[in-house]
């Protein structure tokens, strides 16, 4: 991206063909707002806010056991045994400068200064989005500045997932899986959903199971039918285009959207959302409790001091012209708290999962 100062020499009023630049600035602002809203929708469904550096997450709880009563003695005393795991969240400061000179500001239109400001806000929205998505799609462990481990979803590391409904899990349990062939199949999607459901997420009070896909994978899922290849029929949702059919739906039709995320329908227990921001060739299955719900898998860490949270503008050293040399700053980080609340499927013939390029190494 272009860098440096916004100086008086950068001021223009029209393109060579006579197009009014103010109109272009307004069009740019509208485009940025629409794109940011799409990112915000996914961030809300996948994360919740926290100020903690590390969370103590319950792993197991062992209570009392009854014994045969004795006529002459007292029963053995009971004391609950609780184990937990320390799951950390990243945190770092990141900034970007607008670099207005006073001469630029003296003659610039509101549309021109807004365009520069909007570009910074778009960059901030992008970094927040990439961090949340990276926490889910990147299967590597990190370490925060406090020295605490920041873990991804279950990835076959030494930590063992807690038992749920009498089902136990081994140390190789992995929520980053592949189809094993070049095509997306119902069997692989069924297995992906089971990875989340078997931990108690996505059913009852454990949030709503959602499959988030790119249009390429959405078009495949639209053709899913129950039978030898899968367990469920794809059911178009309330927001689907009008259609002619001689089939009837038993049960509730899925809604048109969840948390501002449009839905194309449902497949079994999961609602299916199509979003171009999900990388092609991947399917994300997640249990979501809605925007900023504690059920969501990713913790979005902010500063413990209230007025240091969010995107902040810091004025320049010239008190008479604070916008000159001003810059924007945000302190944040992410980490997975509910390691079993999501799983990622990569459509590839390889048996080894590889994170999407745009989310590898971020989070």
Domain boundaries, the chain: 35-63+82-359
- The three state secondary structure string of the chain is CCCCCECHHHCCCECCCCCEHHHHHHHHHHHHHHHHHHHHHHHHHHEEEECCCEEEEEEEEECCCCCCCCCCCCCCCCCCEEEEEEEECCCEEEEEECCECHHHHHHCCHHHHHHHHHHHHHHHHHHHHHHHHHHHHCCCCEECCCCCEECCCCECCCCCCCCECCECCCCCCECEEECCCCCCCHHHHHHHHHHHHCCCCCCCCCCEEEEEECHHHHHHHCCCCCECCECCCEEECCCCCCCCCCCCCCCCCCCCEECCEEEEEEECCEEEEECCCCCCCEEEEEEECCCCCCCCCEEEECCCCHHHCCCEEECCCCCCCCCECCEEEEEEEEEECCCCCEEEEECCCCCCCCCCHHHCCCC
pLDDT for residue 252: 74
pLDDT for residue 105: 63
pLDDT for residue 10: 45
In the predicted model, is pLDDT for residue 7 greater than 60? no
The model's pLDDT over 225-264, given as tens digits with 9 standing for 90+, comes to: 998 888 899 999 887 777 667 676 766 778 888 888 999 9
Map tokens 């119902």 to a residue: 186
Q: What rounded mean pLDDT belongs to the chain?
A: 83
The model's pLDDT over 90-112, given as tens digits with 9 standing for 90+, comes to: 999 999 887 766 676 667 776 77
Phi, psi dihedrals of residue 40, rounded to the nearest 5°: -60, -35
Closest CA to 51 of 331, 287, 328: 331
| Average pLDDT for 49-67 | 76
Within 8 A by CB and 6+ apart from 104, the residues are 5, 6, 7, 8, 10, 11
Map tokens 């989005």 to a residue: 129
Fold of 35-63+82-359: phage-related protein like fold (3.90.1690)
CA distance 35 to 183: 30
């Amino acid at each position: 991206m272009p860098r440096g100062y916004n100086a008086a020499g950068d001021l223009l009023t029209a393109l060579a063909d006579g197009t009014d630049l103010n109109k272009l600035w307004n069009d740019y602002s509208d485009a940025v707002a629409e794109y940011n809203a799409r990112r915000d929708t996914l961030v809300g469904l996948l994360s919740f806010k926290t100020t903690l550096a590390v969370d103590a997450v319950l792993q197991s709880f062992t209570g009392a056991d009854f014994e045969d009563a004795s006529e002459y003695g007292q029963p053995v005393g009971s004391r609950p045994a609780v184990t937990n795991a320390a799951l950390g969240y990243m945190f770092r400061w990141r900034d970007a400068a607008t670099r207005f000179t006073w001469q630029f500001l003296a003659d610039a239109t509101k549309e021109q200064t807004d365009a520069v400001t909007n570009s910074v806000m778009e960059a901030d929205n992008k970094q927040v989005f990439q961090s949340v998505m990276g926490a889910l799609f990147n299967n590597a462990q990190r370490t925060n500045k406090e020295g605490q481990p920041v873990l991804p979803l279950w990835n076959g590391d030494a930590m063992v997932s807690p038992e749920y409904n009498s089902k136990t899990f081994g140390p190789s349990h992995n929520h980053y899986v592949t189809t094993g062939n070049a095509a997306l199949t119902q069997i692989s999607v069924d297995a992906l959903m089971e990875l989340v459901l078997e931990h108690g997420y996505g059913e009852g009070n454990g949030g709503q199971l959602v499959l988030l896909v790119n249009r390429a994978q959405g078009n495949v899922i639209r053709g899913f039918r129950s039978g030898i290849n899968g367990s469920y029929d794809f059911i178009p949702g309330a927001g689907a285009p009008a259609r002619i059919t001689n089939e009837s739906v038993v049960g509730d039709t899925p809604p048109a959207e969840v948390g501002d995320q449009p839905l194309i329908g449902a497949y079994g227990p999961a609602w299916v959302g199509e979003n171009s921001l999900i990388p092609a060739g991947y399917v994300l299955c997640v249990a979501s409790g809605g925007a900023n719900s504690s059920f969501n898998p990713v913790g979005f860490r902010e500063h413990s001091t209230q007025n240091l949270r969010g995107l902040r503008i810091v004025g320049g050293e010239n008190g008479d012209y604070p916008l000159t040399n001003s810059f924007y700053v945000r302190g944040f980080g992410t980490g997975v708290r509910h390691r079993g609340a999501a799983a990622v499927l990569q459509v590839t013939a390889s048996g080894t999962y590889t994170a999407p390029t745009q989310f590898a190494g971020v989070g």
